[in-house]
Structure 1
Amino acid sequence: MKIIGYLLLICIFLTGHALCSQGQNDGTIRIGVSASGFDNLNANDIAAALKVWGNTVGGEMGLTQVDVRLFPRHVNELRAAVDEYRPDGISVTVPEYLDIGLKVPEVYIAANENGPAISYVVIVGKETGISSPEDLSGRKLVIGKDRRMDLARPWLQTLMTDKTGKPHQSTFQTPKVVENPSKAILQVFFRQADAALVVSEAFDLACELNPQLRKKLRVVAESPPFITALFVFPHRVDRTQKTNKLKHAILNLYSSPNGRQVLTVFKSSQIKRYPVSVLDSTIQFVEHYRRVVTGTSPLETRP
């Protein structure tokens, strides 16, 4: 379902392009998609699928050439790919956006009624005696898989370190990743795990569907709001009618059945445009995590 959603999204991107004049100087329409959005799927299979869909839709619309490329996860390879490929638009995570170092005035983010950000929660059973993250020492923690979990582990690590980045003496067992948030929540409910790390929205929905969960479980830690992924137009791309039409197509996904199907995959009601400053707090967290917890830093930002 996830890959179908991404492919549909790309097709709608191309629909926006089809309403315009030819692409860049060589007439090619370029879309870059980070491999981070396709966990546990074969990269070659994804790239082949993206190419077939892009060429098929482009051919139906009479476009000269459509090139949809899957970018690697490794930061150096990702940045080199962006420099070489020079995409019209690119879909990346926030850490990747930071590492690429592009400067843009606006970003496009899947949002819902609560806005573009999400938060994570650590939930436990009320009868476990766990009242704070420090009480998780030696306990079993599960992580519910979700495409929005990019910053979940980094945030969890910050919970288990002091202000200098030194790990607390006590920590939980190595987390186990399960298929989805619901399974993680139910494992805690049925005492198969001591704690679960999930997107807060998933926990709220589960409790809405099954009120017994709220009676038996509680949140012992909640993250600040984070932006996890975005679509951007590199600043070097000229502001042609083509680019404006592409932006229009992204912002109006909700107005067509296929677009609404894509938004369902993104667990969103609409993709909206925001000033780049919406990323500030998330970028600050990533920089703090890299500097204090892992002792690393992002690549130098280009001018």
Structure 2
Amino acid sequence: MIVLSTNQHTRAAELFLSSLRLGFTIDTISGVDVNDARAAQELWLRTALQNMNKNNEPVDVQITVYSDLSLLINAVKEHELDAVTLLPLEYLSLQEDVSLIPIITSYSGDSDGEHYVVLTHRENNIQTIEQLQSRNIIVGTRGDKKVPQLWLDTMLLEKSLPETKAFFKSVKYMRKTTQAILPVFFKQVDACLVPKTDFETAIKLNPQLSVGLQIIAESPGFKSTMTCLRSDFHDQHGSHLTQAMETINQTEQGKQFFTLFRVSRILRFEEVHLDNIKNLLQKNQTLSQKSAHRQIEGQ
């Protein structure tokens, strides 16, 4: 959700950065209004980076939102952006197309990232995923539906069941997770898939939800977003920008940023942060191939 860049017009030892060009993909803002997201990032970044300049020089921050990943890739290649914030799945998909170096990862939820859960109503006596075949499900994801969709598909394949679209009678997607949770609570829909943190928040607001609803499946933890620098830009400014971003929660603007984007933590990136999503991708690929072979043999 945070993106950083520069026109590389700096005055060494005097000015850390004078101008930043930033880009992020639309799904990283997790259902937040685009204008609100842009304004929040600009405010925090201007404050944080200006504080790092030797003489408190102001920083011109320019942010661009991309709904098309290919346009973001081209912008990086043309040096129109020096840094981007994107989803881990997006990063893995473009590694071979453009040279980016991750510096920061953010997430909601537990220490290992955001978990997704499948909920059913206790009175419907649905205790397993298998019992949801030919039933209705709502996926409420706040923005990114790729990871929960991939996890659900993989879980079904592990049980030698059809993938989501063929397994369920109907699948609906909602950006507001309450629109997924409440229909299950009122027995209008058989199940929903939502971020665990959203379910926990909903319970705090309405404790009756924990009485009526149950978790029948839970995913591993996944990191929410990654901030990456263009490789040549990283060589010049990587350490300073990483330091600036790690201090986000030390300012009032940064705390507002955490609240708006529902971020729990921001960490210096390590390769281990991608382990769960890489494992999920590999497992899905292997199981999909096995499923395809079974279908061919059955013909």
Residues 82-97 of structure 1: pairs in structure 2 closer than 5 A = 82-85=76-79, 87-97=81-91
SS of the residue 1:177 aligns to: strand
Q: Which residue of 1 aligns with 2:23?
A: 32
Closer, same or farther: CA 94–20 of 1 in aligned 2, 3 Å: farther
Q: Which residue of 1 aligns with 2:294?
A: none
Closer, same or farther: CA 107–166 of 1 in aligned 2, 3 Å: farther
Question: Which region of structure 1 is more displaced relative to structure 2, 111-120 or 128-137?
Answer: 111-120
SS of the residue 1:236 aligns to: helix
- Indicate if the aligned counterparts of 2:114 and 2:223 stay in contact, CA closer than 8 A: yes
Residue of structure 2 aligned with 1:207, choices 203, 207, 231 = 203
Aligned partner of 1:254: which letter? N
Residue of structure 2 aligned with 1:224, choices 216, 220, 224 = 220
Measured on the aligned residues, the alpha-carbon RMSD in Å equals: 4.1
Residues 161-172 of structure 1: pairs in structure 2 closer than 5 A = 161-162=157-158, 167=163, 171-172=167-168
Residue of structure 1 aligned with 2:118, choices 108, 115, 122 = 122
The separation in 1 between residues aligned to 2:276 and 2:166, in whole angstroms, is: 29
The separation in 1 between residues aligned to 2:138 and 2:155, in whole angstroms, is: 16
Aligned partner of 2:248: which letter? L
Residues 8-23 of structure 1: pairs in structure 2 closer than 5 A = 21=15
CA displacement 1:220-249 (0-9 Å, x = unmatched): 111111123111223332433x54332222
TM-score (norm 2): 0.73
1:246 aligns with 2:241: yes
Closer, same or farther: CA 153–294 of 1 in aligned 2, 3 Å: farther
CA displacement 1:100-126 (0-9 Å, x = unmatched): 216777541224672251111110011
The separation in 2 between residues aligned to 1:133 and 1:31, in whole angstroms, is: 42
Q: Which residue of 2 aligns with 1:233?
A: 229
Q: Which residue of 1 aligns with 2:182?
A: 186
SS of the residue 2:223 aligns to: coil
The separation in 1 between residues aligned to 2:264 and 2:133, in whole angstroms, is: 39
| Percent of matched pairs sharing the same residue | 23
Closer, same or farther: CA 247–169 of 1 in aligned 2, 3 Å: closer
1:256 aligns with 2:251: yes
Q: Which residue of 2 aligns with 1:79?
A: 73
Residue of structure 2 aligned with 1:277, choices 260, 272, 277 = 272
- Indicate if the aligned counterparts of 1:91 and 1:232 stay in contact, CA closer than 8 A: yes
- Indicate if the aligned counterparts of 1:79 and 1:99 stay in contact, CA closer than 8 A: no
The separation in 2 between residues aligned to 1:82 and 1:106, in whole angstroms, is: 14
- Indicate if the aligned counterparts of 2:87 and 2:224 stay in contact, CA closer than 8 A: yes
Question: Which region of structure 1 is more displaced relative to structure 2, 275-284 or 166-175?
Answer: 166-175
1:99 aligns with 2:93: yes
Closer, same or farther: CA 113–40 of 1 in aligned 2, 3 Å: closer
CA displacement 1:157-188 (0-9 Å, x = unmatched): 22332478854997212212235222322211
Cα drift, residue 73 of structure 1 = 2.9
Structure 2 alignment gaps of length 5 or more: 51-55, 291-299
